[in-house]
Every structure is written in C-alpha cells, then in structure tokens.
A and B are shown apart, each in its own frame.
Chain A
C-alpha cells in the first residue's frame, strides 16, 4: 500500500500539473477596444506564491491584429475609471515570458520577455507570467491579482471585429499532491515495518 502511494504520487501529481481557467475559441472583441478600456476583453487572474500562469494566444483570421497585455488589478480598475482615449495602447503592461522552441539552438537563446504581444494572422504565442519580470529572459513571482486584457484592430474597412483564441492555465496543486502521496507512502512503510518488528518480538517471547 505504501509503495502504491509512492508510485501513484508522481503520476497523479503530473495530471494536476496545469488547470485550465479560461478557454475562448474564436472570441470576438470590437476594434473600439484599442481606444477604450470599456471595450477590452479582460480576464482576471490570481497568482499565489511560486505560481505561474500559462497563456496560449493566437489569431487565425486575416486583417486582424490582436494585442495582449497584463496589468495589476489596481491599475486596470483606475484605467477603466479614467477611460482615456487609446488607454489600452498607452498603458505599460507587466513583463511576461515568451517561448519560441527551436530545435537548432539551446533553449536559453529562445525565451525572452515582453510587455505586449501583437498577434496577426496565424501567429501563436506561448506566454508564461508570474507577476513581473525584466527585459531579457527573466520573470519572477509576485503574488497578487492581475488582469490579462486583449484589444485589437481590423484593417478591413467593412469589419470592426477582432477574432482571437486564448487559453489560460494556472499551475495546479501537483507539488502538494506529490508531497502528500510521498509522505503517506513512507508513513505506511514505516508503520508496516514497526508492526512486523513488533510481531517478531512477540513470537520470540512466546517461543
């Protein structure tokens, strides 16, 4: 039983590695969103200690440019109230990390930080966010409430729709699950060992 817990721990933990919190396919946002905070698509997230948010952001439609930024909830609320023209474009976002896995090079050469991504037709971005970062390829954990928001434009005169896809994942309780399974497994093995020793001593005593 103890061994079973030790074996199952990593498997169950791996299954709870990431939790999907938002999944929007072919989501529409009006191009007014690049001018007004009242028209952007906001996704509220909460980051805990050592937690990471993973975002898959893509656009498949032609003539569309969709942009993504992440700001603190406080800043978002105040900008929403002010509602300055072109506020979404002008506000400074927090740093997040973009990965571009390339088989031809070392991974360290293909991870870099940005404060905004602009997605045009058939673009795909794999983004990781932990609270803040700096230019280069470093992000770090700052627990708190944040808002991911998407705004965009459509260069086709007859249309104002901006269509994009977004999947947002947060780190699941995999570390805690692994720790619990491991602790229970070892505890059961130790208890079983103690019971066996106790029984052997009793047998020896009884002859």
Chain B
C-alpha cells in the first residue's frame, strides 16, 4: 500500500512539474502587449548594463599601458621622496607590471560574461517582439514588423555567439 501511495505521489509531482513547464510556454505565447513591452524594456536594460561592462573592460585594457607608465613614474617619485626604500620600490615595481598584465587580460573574462549578458538581454527583447506579433488585437503590419525584428535579433544573437571569439595578446 505504502509503495502504491508513494508512486501516486511521484506521478502527481511529475504532472504538476509538466503543468508548470507548459504554463511558462503558454504564458510566453499568450502574453499581452503590456507584458511584451516589459520584456523589451527589461531586455534592453540588461543588454545596456552588460554592454557598458564590456566597454569599460575594453577601455581599461586599452589604457593599461598609459596607466603602467604613470604608476612607474609615481613609484620613482615615492622612492625619491623617501616614502619607502629600494626593496619596497622593487616590490611595487613588480606589482605594477603584474597589475597592468591583469588589466590587459581581464577583457577575456569580463567581455565574455558581458557577451552572455547582452545575448540574454536580446533574447528577452526578442521574446517581447514575438509577444507583439502574437497579439491578435494589434495592427497586422505592426505584427509582421515585430516578427521580423524578433528574427533579426535572434540572427544577431546567433552571429555574435558563434562568429568572433575574444582574444588578447599580452606583450
């Protein structure tokens, strides 16, 4: 008896899980215009945030040589002023080189994370446009345009995900 009741519970659990999964897809397809707009705005915000992270990361890497030169001069000045001794000067020198190398390397990590984030944001935007195109109350031309935009966005996502990789050269 106990076995039977446990197997029943399991089937009920599986059913509810499937129901939930179906619910999400149903919700996505049956989304109203308001929710679609929310998706588009949310997706754009996510894409902009991650895009900004990527740009900042690239900018840091591009300016690393100037930063390195500036910090090396500052280190010379610190020694000449007598703020620290020659050994400390050498330690700081080595740390500056290592940190500059990290600045040139970090886009490999952050740009890839940002790329995933931007693509995720664009997928949200795409779902929003699909929501517009599925809205039967909308003007047919606008629905067609929304569908085309959704297709365009997924093409961009696929292109950026599959084409170029991020490579960094440390000199």
Contact = CB atoms under 8 A, between A and B. Distances in A.
Interface of A: 52, 54, 97, 99, 101-103, 107-108, 110-111, 126-128, 130, 137, 139, 200, 205, 207
Given A200-B42, A207-B27, A107 B76 contact: yes
Q: Report the contact-size class of chain B (Cβ under 8 Å from the partner).
A: 10 to 19
Contact of A99 (B24, B42, B76, B86): B86
Contacts of A127: 85
Contacts of B85: 54, 97, 99, 111, 126-128
Determine chain B's interface SS by DSSP, over half rule: helix
Contacts of B81: 101
Question: Which residue among A54, A107, A137 has the maximum number of chain B CB atoms within 10 Å of its CB?
Answer: A107
A137 B85 CA distance: 12
Given A101-B81, A128-B85, 9 more contacts: A97-B87, A99-B82, A101-B82, A103-B80, A107-B89, A108-B86, A126-B82, A137-B86, A207-B35
Contacts of B89: 99, 107, 111
Nearest to B35: A207
26 contacts: A52-B87, A52-B88, A97-B86, A97-B87, A99-B82, A99-B89, A101-B79, A101-B80, A101-B81, A102-B80, A103-B80, A107-B76, A107-B79, A107-B86, A110-B86, A111-B85, A111-B86, A111-B89, A126-B85, A128-B85, A128-B86, A128-B88, A130-B87, A137-B86, A207-B27, A207-B35
